[in-house]
Amino acid sequence: MTLTLAGKTALVTGSSRSIGAAIAKRLTADGAAVALTYSASPERAAEVVAEIEAEGGRALAIAADAGDPEAVRAAVTRTIETFGSIDILVNNAGLGLGGPIEELPFETDQRMIAVNVTGIFVATQEAARHMKPGGRIIRIGSSMTRYAAFPTASLYTLTKGAITGFNRSLVRDLGPKGITVNTVHPGPTDTDMNPADGPVAKIVGPGIAIGRYGQPSEIANVVAFLASPEAAFVTGAEIVADGGLTA
């Protein structure tokens, strides 16, 4: 099997579990060395690294709160120091806090923006300084930016919508440097935050065209394509992987 990402290095933020962990595993399976960040799950991050290494891959877990700019910058630096480059950045880390707009504490707003928006800006800025032509920047957005399936998620949707706007302009900055920027918008996916048997599933489940929640590995497959040489002409794209929920 051809390892399409052999010789590449990826940084995947928030990848100790669920979609992030699946992305880290898939990119290493395709040949990349992967640094994965975590903030509250060191044991789970270590498990992901162990699984990757057991399959012959190279991985590094880095403690870094995605809402702390200095920690994010340090994660990029350590990735480069350890593996020699940064070729792929996957901004996966995110918070999903919510509630009625009238009741949301301002502190919740600030924390969500710090992790879901500012953290992405900082990671992108720092990685772009070191990326060479052929670099890939990939965001994990949300199908909620296309269809608000239930209430109490307005703040979450605000932060995910910011990613979309950021990327549309960023392609003009980074395109001439040979760096692509794309977004994957997952729909209902079986994760710790939104399990297939959880309360949200009862609301959105009937609207999923294929009749089931997605699996983290299915989102990772889309990311792997965008990270690959085959996606060299794809930039500024938003790929919705939601089982037809927003169709």
DSSP symbol at 9: E
In the chain the first and final C-alpha atoms are separated, in Å, by 35
Q: Which long-range contacts (CB under 8 A, 24 or more apart) does 191-197 make?
A: 191/17, 191/18, 191/19, 191/216, 192/17, 192/18, 193/18, 193/96, 194/96
Q: Catalytic residue numbers?
A: 156
C-alpha span between 18 and 218 (Å, rounded): 11
DSSP labels, 153-200: -HHHHHHHHHHHHHHHHHHHHHGGGT-EEEEEEE-SB--SSS-TTSHH
C-alpha span between 221 and 20 (Å, rounded): 12
143: which 2 tokens?
């199908």
